């Protein structure tokens, strides 16, 4: 369906998604077993999710700019 | 059922079951945002309602945000010009986003703005949720789905706008539609 053939595209999508999942499910699962820790604080987890969302938002903007250039050149 | 559009994004056929689910998602999400905006204007027709004031949220409602974000939002809350802007931008933004998504007009632009707003709301209170997954985060994901599947083209105004001469001569506008 949608083209994600370029390695950089896949890398960015994986990076953004991984940061969101790490901040929510990943560290949440760790916290379930080890309890409250400084490195599990909202500063760390919230910032990881925020970074992931920023990466995905930047990628979305890039995709539309890049796709538009491609379709204009055709 | 699905195909790739000229801009490389997925297009879902309106009469497919994916199309109906996408339409339902768009209408529900649009109403969710529109209602959130309209209730902030309730003071216009309800004498008991008060105008929206972002200061309470900015100063006291963001204590569960990461420190850098809480600091920034508290600074906005303490800066009169930015506070006045926020008091207007949030309700007006929610109404415009809600209308855009509900009608399927400039759906991608509206969805992107909606995702941004939802992300700010989510991060501002992320520490309150033990799972770090809240309705606001899911709202971001739903807006992303409207963007990537071009939900505005399914029984939406964008399907008509894309056929106008204005858009035909300015193909970059398609990035904001659909």
Least confident segment among B10-24, B95-109, B152-166: B10-24
Confidence bin at A2 (pLDDT 50/70/90): low
Say yes or no for a CB contact (<8 Å) between B9 and A49.
no
For chain B, say whether A55 makes contact (Cβ under 8 Å).
no
Alpha carbon of B3: minimum distance to chain A alpha carbons (Å): 6
Least confident segment among B22-36, B103-117, B151-165: B151-165
Who has greater pLDDT, B160 or A5? B160
Confidence bin at B6 (pLDDT 50/70/90): very low
Instruction: Delimit the domains of chain B by residue range.
Output: 2-175
CA distance A46 to A23: 7
Model confidence pLDDT, tens digit, residues B43-59: 999 989 999 999 999 99
What pLDDT sits at residue A55? 96
Beta carbons of B73 and B65 less than 8 angstroms apart:
yes
Say yes or no for a CB contact (<8 Å) between A70 and B66.
no
pLDDT at B5 exceeding the cut of 50: no
Beta carbons of B105 and B160 less than 8 angstroms apart:
no
| SS3 assignment for B146-170 | HHHCCHHHCCCHHHHHCCCHHHHHC
| Local structure of B44: helix, strand or coil | helix
In this complex, the residue of B4, B116, B137 whose CB is nearest that of residue A1 is B4
What pLDDT sits at residue A65? 78
In this complex, the residue of A45, A70, A72 whose CB is nearest that of residue B132 is A45
Interface confidence, given as ipTM, is 0.85
Q: Which of B66, B125, B135, B170 to mutate to test the interface with A (most CBs of A within 10 A)?
A: B66
Nearest residue in B to A30, CA atom: B131
Model confidence pLDDT, tens digit, residues A10-68: 899 999 999 999 999 999 999 999 988 888 999 999 999 999 999 999 998 888 777 76
pLDDT at B3 exceeding the cut of 70: no
């Amino acid at each position: 369906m949608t083209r994600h053939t370029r390695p950089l595209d896949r890398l960015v999508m994986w990076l953004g998604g991984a940061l969101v999942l790490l901040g929510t499910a990943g560290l949440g699962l760790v916290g379930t077993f080890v309890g409250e820790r400084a490195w599990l604080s909202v500063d760390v987890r919230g910032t990881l999710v925020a970074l992931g969302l920023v990466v995905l938002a930047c990628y979305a903007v890039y995709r539309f700019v890049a796709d538009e250039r491609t379709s204009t050149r055709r | 059922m699905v195909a790739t559009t000229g801009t490389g994004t997925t297009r879902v056929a309106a009469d497919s079951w994916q199309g109906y689910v996408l339409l339902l998602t768009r209408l529900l999400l649009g109403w969710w945002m529109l209602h959130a905006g309209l209730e902030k204007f309730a003071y216009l027709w309800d004498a008991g309602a008060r105008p929206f004031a972002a200061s309470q949220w900015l100063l006291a409602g963001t204590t569960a945000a990461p420190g850098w974000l809480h600091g920034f939002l508290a600074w906005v809350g303490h800066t009169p010009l930015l506070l006045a802007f926020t008091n207007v931008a949030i309700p007006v933004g929610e109404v415009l986003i809600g209308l855009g998504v509900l009608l399927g007009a400039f759906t991608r632009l509206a969805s992107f703005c909606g995702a941004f707003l939802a992300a700010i709301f989510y991060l501002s209170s992320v520490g309150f949720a033990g799972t770090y997954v809240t309705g606001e985060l899911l709202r971001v994901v739903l807006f992303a789905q409207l963007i990537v599947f071009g939900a505005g083209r399914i029984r939406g105004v964008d399907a008509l706008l894309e056929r106008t001469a204005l858009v035909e001569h300015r193909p970059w506008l398609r990035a904001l539609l659909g």
